[in-house]
Structure 1
Amino acid sequence: MIARLLFFLFSCSAVMALDDFRPMVAEAISKGEKKVIIPPGTYRLAPTGGGKCVWTLQGLKDVEIIADGVTLVSTKLTRAVAIDRCTGVSLRGLTVDYDPLPFTQGTVTAVAENKGWIEVKLHAGYPRQPYSRIDVVDPATRYRKKGMPFLWGTKAEMRGEDTVRVTLKDIGKAAETGTLASLNTGPAADGIPHAFSLERCSGVNLRGVTIHSAPGMGILECDGDGKTEYLACRVVPGPTPTGASEARLLSTSWDAMQTKTVRHGPRVEGCEIREAGDDSWSVQSSDFMVLKVTGSTLVIASRDEFTVGVESGDRLKTRIGGPDATITSRRELSREKAALDPAVTAKLKDAPQWSEWRVSPKCLEVTLDQALPVKAGDSLYSPDRMGNGFSFLNNRIHSSGRLLIKGAGRIEGNLLDTPHSIVVCPEIPGNAAAGIDGLVIRKNTIRRSGWFCAAPWSTQAGALSITAGGGAQQLRAPAVFANIVIEDNTFEDCSGPNLVISSAKGVKVRGNRFIRPHHDKPDGTGGSYGIASNAVIWTAQCEDVEMKNNPITEPGSFCGEKVVEK
């Protein structure tokens, strides 16, 4: 009743001003309304009551919220929308943006003689802030510059009212005078990252939701049952700011969309992603280090300290085809309360970044329905916390980051224009447990991949890479991946290897088209692993690979042996 009345009042030609829709939504929900319509308009809002999120929906069930024509502008660099522990919630039409923006942009006007710094004159209408996370942008394409290296470790400072000096060894080699640059940041010191979050939810439906900017990721989904639907959602740059003449170069500061540690993967269909600051979309998971074994009770720790991890009913296992056990109970505890062996504690304390023993300080004590043959120092993964069963269908991407996949599902009918690559990789130390079983990559088009950020130390060398690195820059033996289908895809004008596969068993590569490969000089990504940068298809450490009807047409002068199987 309340929702219908509000819809009538605000659909009149003389629309009433509404400064804040949150009280109206809260009141309608408190009265049991299952359909709430937010009046169209632009709402400039900040967190209330000392909170860190602008608008939170918590503990709702089977509620539909229609926000067609609604723009929420967060006036603080913190989370704009949080959907927490909700089931069957539907949200339609909402647009999220920020003022001030979490990024600025400008034109390179000066370069140090030793190439150690550049100065960026900020465009009118953009924040006067010395943000240091920088992307170098080609003024002709208004897209990340071809051949740009990783610009990690930059320092930035204001020089005058509208110029930022960015310092990093050899940065001037990547950003000559006249180059454009975007400089972005994360949340405010008292804020939290990501524009939109879904935590511990089940069956949420987002339709036509748009993210124009974000102090971090655009949409982050983690933990819970999953089964989320993202339909016709967009992560794209927003309108030109007031007082500006230059269009935005960036949408999100970090990833556009990420899903991790959910039981059932999402359906992402008909979405658009453009100009994100990092990866375009990813489905993430992690392994669990065994810290203590007492019969069928284990103390474990995730490599990801920000998620809940496994829950009762989830399975744990060491490898594809190996035994698994189901968690019957769990509790969280600290390392101190876990009474770990002193030798284990010492290894955890001294573990360097990205090493095998570098795991979350939060521990889980889990009891299993049967004992597993593991000891302290072994690794486990959960096939129920990988987002398995996801589908990524008919999406359009023009963004220079990756599609990063750490679970099994279906990637079909998508267009990726000038991406970094599609990457299937657990991204964990070489002895850690991983298993991706049953992935279909079909009817996608990948255009102009392989142009950015050379990484000889990475296995992710192809326009499509399915790889797992081991110790001492070796590729892992099969089968980290199993039952993979790669068929009817089109690769156009890609630099470097088009398809790289390792550590897999049972792979079908059928009916793919490789058009005009190797017309650009490859950047050498994968060189430390011996991946041939001049191959079109390269495989190693694989078993039972079927290759059938994969024509390679108009190869360029940088092409060597077209198909390399090691």
Structure 2
Amino acid sequence: MLRFIVCVLLAFSSLRADDFRSLVGEALRRGEKRIVIPPGNYQLEPLGSGGELWLLSGLKDIEIVAEGVTLTGTKLMRAISLHRCSGVTLRGLTVDYDPLPFTQGEVVAATEDGGSIDIKIHAGYPRKPYSRIDVVDAKTRFRKKGMPFLWGTKAEMVGEDVVRISLPGIGKAAKPGDLASLSTGQEAGAPHAISIDQCEQMHFENVTVHSAPGMGILEADGEGGSTFRHCRIVPGPKPSGATEERLLSSSWDAFQSKTIRKGPLIEDCEITHAGDDSWSVQSSDFLVVKCEGTHLALSSRDEFTSGVQTGDRLRANVEGPEWKIVTRQVMRREKADLAPDVLTKLEAAKTWDAWKASPQCIVVTLDHPAELKPGDSVYSPDRMGNGFIFRRNHMHSPGRVLIKAGGLMEDNVLDTPHALVICPEVPSGAAAGIEDLVLRRNVIKNGGWFCPAPWSTQAGIISFTSSSSSSSLRDTPVSKNVLIENNILEGGMGPHLIVSSVQGLTVRGNRFVKPLQEAPPETGASFGIPRDKVVWITRSSGVTYEKNKIEELGPFAAKEPVTK
């Protein structure tokens, strides 16, 4: 084997200036199980009309060693796609883009009415009018405190190196002297740097993503059970001709796992300066569009994933009955023999409506009849990423950690995050269930600095909520068997812990340090969530609250800072 590796290295070395993809392909065709790519910076262009720069499909029990290797994408599209693979190890690779999928600069002017701002692009960064803006404090080089949602912006070049961003009121959020990143430079295909699709038992070690047109790493569908150790999603080096360090890593989420059977192990990883959430384990409900005994037609909220599979279980809630899928077929909703009124509701639905769902239907046979009707919804405990482990990771990134599954999160440091959020994020009253979740020995510093959001239930630095309408939290349990233990929450804005709709909750040994030293935002006001509580637990049963400490209580706290 050693002799073979030496020969492969020699062969690769003679061609490394060109492209390693064909060399890896040749080694795979020879049946080799361990492939070593020589160190170097490889500038890769698309091959043919594919949706990615490098496609690895159908591999099983393969190790790819890429220590000292940088894959630099020359087109803003998916860098690597791993499709229907099993037992693949990827070690040491770095992914970046040239040109970058974002630009950055300094706010130099704002109109008198605050409807637009001008940003002078830093030297060495793309002179492109990207419109997704994040306003950055020039001193901290981190998201500006209290920055609002800046959705619906328009961008145009108004000079050789000046971008004008227009949005009513943007001049109140961004002032001359502030910095800004401008992202979502996507040219073709999916925007995520690394996509892991319908795979199982994948192993990433020392893999780094320096930039991405979309997410850094996206894992979707499949059996899951993958591991990510010592991986990094962090800004890369200054581009050629630049004097300013990068403000951004991924344009969207740094890392997301969704609709997988078994959640990942993510250990000793680093995430900094992502454009959206730092890490999330995602799932969704399935809208019932037809039910006749054991025959059920479902429509997913997410049209980009394959959804439930044969053998998966379905539930309406954490306490209700359970069904198992015996057969499965996918078809367009027009072919699923749906009632005319159902089709009308589906076609008329707007974003976040209860009837908003994929145009594809998953038609299944169940192991026993279901008493469901169109408009109900179900979820699958087998497509949530349950069993994840998120351990010893360090994050200095302004987005959330968002959890929609059961698992273990321990010994992590979240430095200045939006929040640690546990929420199904489905339409009000839709099916959801999160069970067996442990949050232990995590340190969260300076959470809650994002903008006020009165319409959101996500009001705590640790926020564990679910809604039944636009103004009320759920009375029935959405979550079961939750342990929040020996965590340290320090500083930040707003309540430290908000919990609702949990059956079987233990909050033990946590330290709430310097809470409510600053005026809290109005987040959660629509739901009656108090702003002056350090801990607020409501609509929950089987609650144990013991050995928790509040240290250096701030002046914005209520006389009774804990309600449980």
Shorter chain as denominator, the TM-score bin is: over 0.9
Cα offset for 1:110? 0.6
Letter in 2 for 1:38: I
Letter in 2 for 1:210: T
Change (3 A) 1:140 1:364: same
Alignment equivalent of 1:475, drawn from 473, 476, 492: 473
Q: Is residue 478–residue 543 contact of structure 1 (8 Å, CA) maintained in 2?
A: no
Given the alignment of the two structures, is residue 280 of structure 1 paired with residue 278 of structure 2, yes or no?
yes
Q: Is residue 250–residue 275 contact of structure 1 (8 Å, CA) maintained in 2?
A: yes
CA RMSD of aligned residues (A): 1.2
Q: CA-to-partner distance for each residue in 1:342-383, whole Å, 9 max, x for gaps?
A: 111111111121011111111011111111221221110000
Q: Distance in 1 between matches of 2:23 and 2:16?
A: 13
SS of match in other structure, 2:35: strand
Q: Is residue 537–residue 562 contact of structure 1 (8 Å, CA) maintained in 2?
A: no
Q: Following TM superposition, where does structure 1 have runs of at least 4 consecutive aligned residues deviating by more than 2 angstroms?
A: 1-4, 6-11, 15-18, 561-566
Alignment equivalent of 2:438, drawn from 416, 440, 449: 440
Q: Which residue of 2 aligns with 1:560?
A: 558
Q: Distance in 2 between matches of 1:563 and 1:440?
A: 24
Q: Distance in 2 between matches of 1:367 and 1:562?
A: 53
Change (3 A) 1:435 1:186: farther
Q: Which residue of 1 aligns with 2:175?
A: 176
Q: Is residue 58–residue 85 contact of structure 1 (8 Å, CA) maintained in 2?
A: yes
Q: Is residue 273–residue 397 contact of structure 1 (8 Å, CA) maintained in 2?
A: yes
Q: Is residue 6–residue 39 contact of structure 1 (8 Å, CA) maintained in 2?
A: no
Q: Which residue of 1 aligns with 2:139?
A: 140
Q: Is residue 532–residue 561 contact of structure 2 (8 Å, CA) maintained in 1?
A: no
Structure 2 spans left out of the alignment, 5+ residues: none
SS of match in other structure, 1:471: coil
Q: Distance in 1 between matches of 2:372 and 2:7?
A: 62
Q: Distance in 2 between matches of 1:318 and 1:324?
A: 8
Cα offset for 1:562? 4.6
Cα offset for 1:9? 6.1
Q: Which residue of 1 aligns with 2:253?
A: 255
Q: CA-to-partner distance for each residue in 1:231-265, whole Å, 9 max, x for gaps?
A: 11000000000000000000000000000000000
Q: Which residue of 1 aligns with 2:40?
A: 41
Q: Distance in 1 between matches of 2:443 and 2:110?
A: 38
Which sits farther off after the overlay, 364-373 or 264-273? 364-373
Structure 1 spans left out of the alignment, 5+ residues: none
Q: Which residue of 2 aligns with 1:62?
A: 61
Letter in 1 for 2:264: P
Q: Distance in 1 between matches of 2:186 and 2:15?
A: 33
Letter in 1 for 2:493: S
Cα offset for 1:173? 1.1
Matches within 5 A, 1:217-236: 217-236=215-234
SS of match in other structure, 2:223: strand
Q: Which residue of 1 aligns with 2:516?
A: 518
Given the alignment of the two structures, is residue 4 of structure 1 paired with residue 11 of structure 2, yes or no?
no
Q: Which residue of 2 aligns with 1:293?
A: 291
Cα offset for 1:321? 2.3
Instruction: Count residues in correspondence.
Output: 562
SS of match in other structure, 1:4: helix
Q: Distance in 1 between matches of 2:67 and 2:349?
A: 50
Q: Distance in 2 between matches of 1:453 and 1:100?
A: 31
Q: Is residue 474–residue 501 contact of structure 2 (8 Å, CA) maintained in 1?
A: yes
Q: Distance in 1 between matches of 2:76 and 2:489?
A: 39
Given the alignment of the two structures, is residue 538 of structure 1 paired with residue 536 of structure 2, yes or no?
yes
Q: Is residue 52–residue 79 contact of structure 2 (8 Å, CA) maintained in 1?
A: yes
Cα offset for 1:284? 0.3
Letter in 1 for 2:97: Y
Q: Is residue 3–residue 28 contact of structure 1 (8 Å, CA) maintained in 2?
A: no
Q: Distance in 1 between matches of 2:189 and 2:380?
A: 32
Q: Which residue of 1 aligns with 2:117?
A: 118
Which sits farther off after the overlay, 67-76 or 170-179? 170-179
Matches within 5 A, 1:267-346: 267-346=265-344
Cα offset for 1:478? 2.8
TM-score normalised per structure 1: 0.98
Q: Which residue of 2 aligns with 1:424?
A: 422
Cα offset for 1:10? 6.4
Q: Distance in 2 between matches of 1:111 and 1:136?
A: 14
Cα offset for 1:17? 4.3
Q: Which residue of 2 aligns with 1:161?
A: 160
Q: Which residue of 1 aligns with 2:483?
A: 485
Q: Is residue 520–residue 556 contact of structure 2 (8 Å, CA) maintained in 1?
A: yes
Letter in 1 for 2:88: V
Change (3 A) 1:347 1:17: closer
Change (3 A) 1:561 1:330: farther
Which sits farther off after the overlay, 372-381 or 404-413? 372-381
Q: CA-to-partner distance for each residue in 1:88-140, whole Å, 9 max, x for gaps?
A: 00000000000111100000111111111110000000000001100000000
Q: Distance in 1 between matches of 2:559 and 2:505?
A: 21
